[in-house]
């Protein structure tokens, strides 16, 4: 990628400037100068990539355990998943924050004309309105399925609900992907002796010392419903962050925003985003006791709004065994809670704090306090 002193290799600048599409004007011309002169632009790019990679790592903690006995140490498994999901979420929020700071401090509209970034900024209304439409579409359709299930449940008509035992909405494409990976040895990967992970299916569970280490994770109607709810939350998160970046310098309400000292103008309320979910392991108490949501409980609890509220959000939500709220306040308040700091940033830190606080309170109550099984 980088040309050496002996002329071996490609020049990043040449690659970027040669990258021009039919609808992108000057394409990536000037991007090399942006990345080599703006710390915030470079940091934003690195945070976005590292955050995405961190979330991928979180899921591989349980699907492809890196060493044998990690798989049976459920508390460590849960902690590693939680840790990497949190870190990944914060890194991606940070990517948008620094992209917005780049737009305010380092972007020069007088020298950037008709390149890719300029064209994106000129089309920002279309981009945001389309993303807004996607969020509305996902929200109404996903919650519509849940409202149907809640109504049928309330009327005592389980046979008319969307579930694995009534009206099935099987994730057939995801199941096909799983099956392809499970059958890879001898087919697409004939030299392989086993699939990359037992979680794809096609095998029995693995027990180590009498404890379940790994087992197939079959997908069903509940996964289909939850997937689309999370698609909704992720797109809303992108909408909040991307709108903050694209409108960092100006908006219809505040056309001279770039001259007002704003540091992060996106002040939308966070709703937990992609972290607001329960994982396949369960929770660990402050005494180290590990409890689980079984497959049956998840399949039953996650297909109605009432189930989410009753079994994930409300159950034991009054308890705080790990003192998360005082810890969260102790960490965040000295940084963002003081009037002097708020005055210094002119309220610019409120966007990330809203996202972070709602993530702490909503997601923690669902993930770590409320995932004990309903049925012993």
Whether 79 and 152 map to the same domain: the answer is: no
* Residue 189: inside a domain: no
Whether 63 and 165 map to the same domain: the answer is: no
* Residue 360: inside a domain: yes
* Residue 352: inside a domain: yes
* Residue 178: inside a domain: no
Whether 15 and 87 map to the same domain: the answer is: yes
Whether 239 and 353 map to the same domain: the answer is: yes
* Residue 4: inside a domain: yes
Q: Residue 195: its pLDDT value, please?
A: 87
What per-residue string of b and e applies to 240-253 under the rule 16 or more CB within 10 Å gives b? Answer: bbbbbbbbbbbeee
Whether 34 and 165 map to the same domain: the answer is: no
Whether 69 and 96 map to the same domain: the answer is: yes
Q: Residue 234: its pLDDT value, please?
A: 93
* Residue 162: inside a domain: yes
Q: Residue 123: its pLDDT value, please?
A: 94
Q: Residue 258: its pLDDT value, please?
A: 81
Whether 281 and 373 map to the same domain: the answer is: yes
Whether 105 and 143 map to the same domain: the answer is: no
Q: Residue 62: its pLDDT value, please?
A: 87
Q: Residue 279: its pLDDT value, please?
A: 38
CA dist., res. 265 & res. 351, Å (int)? 7
Q: Residue 362: its pLDDT value, please?
A: 43
Whether 9 and 104 map to the same domain: the answer is: yes
Whether 228 and 141 map to the same domain: the answer is: yes
Domain boundary among 122, 141, 157: 122
Whether 141 and 52 map to the same domain: the answer is: no
pTM, rounded to two decimals? 0.71
CA dist., res. 331 & res. 132, Å (int)? 33
Q: How many domains does the chain have?
A: 2
> What does the block give as tokens for 65?
């355990």
* Residue 191: inside a domain: no
Give me the residues paired with residue 290 across strands: 284
* Residue 181: inside a domain: no
Q: Residue 287: its pLDDT value, please?
A: 60
Whether 85 and 167 map to the same domain: the answer is: no
Show the domain range for 229.
123-171+220-376
Per-residue pLDDT of the chain (376 residues; tens, 9 = 90+): 578 888 888 888 888 888 888 888 888 888 889 999 999 999 999 999 999 999 999 999 889 998 878 999 988 998 999 999 999 999 999 999 999 999 999 999 888 889 889 999 999 999 999 999 999 999 999 999 999 999 999 999 999 999 999 999 999 999 999 999 999 888 888 888 888 888 998 878 889 989 999 999 999 999 999 999 999 999 999 999 999 999 988 888 778 778 776 543 333 333 232 333 333 335 555 565 655 554 457 778 888 887 777 776 655 454 555 555 555 555 555 555 443 333 333 344 444 444 444 444 444 444 444 444 444 3
């Amino acid at each position: 990628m980088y040309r050496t002193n002996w002329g071996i290799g490609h020049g990043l600048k040449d690659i970027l400037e040669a990258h021009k599409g039919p609808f992108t004007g000057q394409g990536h011309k000037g991007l090399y100068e942006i990345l080599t002169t703006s710390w915030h632009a470079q940091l934003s790019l690195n945070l976005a990539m590292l955050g995405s990679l961190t979330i991928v790592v979180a899921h591989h903690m349980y699907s492809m355990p890196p060493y044998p006995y990690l798989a049976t140490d459920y508390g460590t498994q849960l902690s590693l998943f939680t840790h990497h999901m949190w870190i990944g979420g914060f890194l991606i929020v940070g990517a948008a924050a620094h992209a917005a700071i780049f737009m305010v401090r380092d972007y020069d509209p007088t020298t950037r004309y008709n390149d890719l970034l300029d064209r994106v900024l000129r089309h920002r209304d279309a981009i945001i309105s389309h993303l807004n439409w996607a969020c509305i579409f996902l929200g109404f359709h996903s919650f519509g399925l849940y409202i149907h299930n809640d109504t049928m449940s309330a009327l005592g008509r389980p046979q008319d609900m969307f579930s694995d035992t009534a009206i099935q909405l099987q994730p057939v494409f995801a199941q096909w992907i799983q099956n392809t990976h499970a059958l890879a040895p001898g087919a697409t990967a004939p030299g392989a002796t086993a699939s990359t992970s037992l979680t794809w299916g096609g095998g029995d569970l693995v027990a180590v010392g009498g404890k379940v280490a790994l087992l197939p994770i079959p997908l069903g109607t509940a996964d289909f419903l939850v997937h689309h709810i999370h698609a909704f939350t992720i797109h809303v998160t992108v909408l909040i962050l991307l709108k903050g970046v694209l409108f960092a310098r100006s908006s219809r309400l505040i056309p001279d925003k770039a001259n007002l000292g704003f540091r992060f103008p996106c002040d939308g309320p966070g709703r937990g985003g992609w972290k607001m979910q329960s994982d396949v392991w369960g929770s660990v108490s402050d005494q180290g006791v590990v409890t689980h949501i079984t497959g049956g409980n998840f399949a039953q609890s996650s297909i109605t709004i009432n189930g989410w509220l009753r079994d994930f959000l409300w159950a034991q939500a009054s308890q705080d065994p790990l003192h998360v709220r005082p810890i969260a306040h102790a960490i965040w308040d000295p940084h963002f809670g003081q009037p002097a700091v708020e005055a210094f940033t002119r309220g610019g830190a409120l966007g990330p704090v809203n996202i972070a606080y709602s993530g702490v309170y909503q997601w923690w109550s669902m993930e770590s306090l409320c995932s004990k099984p309903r049925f012993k």
